Structure 1
């Protein structure tokens, strides 16, 4: 835990350059009430708007951010935008920047947040990787936005729903196998899926699926993974567990101003 970040955040454990800063909020420590209790950072889930604004202001203060994060209207697609410091919410599922002090952020509550940086500490990105985005190719889309080659990029996988609680249908399997880039990628996808308890249902491991996608596009330095949002109701929101009253955590990455 970084000594300047409050304990109700997660700090990625990865060998990122000193210029790269990152944190993941939990549901603890904010102003929201009811099912959104208490640190919901999403403005689109039905929470009181004043509480969300207060939570976002608290986030910026606690992380000593010099600019408001690039918030996104996430649509489970593959668009990755350049972050801008202009207070506009952009429709995309990923953001990338080389600007110092400008945070990229994604909101999740079971979907997988992926944080990326280059080994030189000059570029960062945040990806909202639910199964639809993963299957459709958001990982290679984000990696292609980096100036550095894939073998000079590292990734960290944040909290998401684990395979034990992520039962899916045949449509999800077909979506992944239809877009596999190679036989090796197909084999890795198959290894990430196991039979479910009902006919034609399966359990999918988002962490393994993300690692497969990263490996396919040449990113081998992958850290994190394995923290389940569904299992830990005290620290994390989970849409599959809590439904429409679920708030959202933020996964944020930025380049230090100095």
Structure 2
């Protein structure tokens, strides 16, 4: 996963004047996908299908172990399905240039790596093609700009290794700013805002939507996914309900139970 999130490690001395690549549009198609971690056990994901158009948001919800994060890993290319297809712009990952894929599809999860360097370098990841104004815009959209400006030196403030001088919520917002600075067309958010308060989380998600980025959200707080184009309720690797918030609430099923239990 780190290869996708951090495709070039600064340890190897790469001054990243990156080449410019075309990007994917942000459309995703999953057709009858089945997957498990061991062929000796029943599949964890079975006959799963999804259509996501550019700029749309889909959320996966359900109890721990229902298969939400596994789906996120399948979409990000970490695993290959046993059967079925996962297509981006109509093409399987195997037919997409690695640089185009990593420049288009970004993952934000709870595995946050921050380096002992300036805040600006941590956001741009040593990619000198990212201008200062783009770093600041990404930080504003991630709602971390004001926190940065309170530090001595602002964007030139040097973080400690691992960002130990930041709170959990600040580290999550730094990670989101880093991803936004790369200008992806799709973001996979796996519990990516768990340390944020509800208002900040809403503002961050709203900023991502205004950029026209397609989003796959593994939700931990259901109040922030009500505006998703589709909400998919998982249970033991299978889809038990899917639809908009209003449609699912009208069904009076598992989704309503999850919402009312918050």
Q: What's the TM-score, normalizing by structure 1?
A: 0.29
Q: What's the TM-score, normalizing by structure 2?
A: 0.29
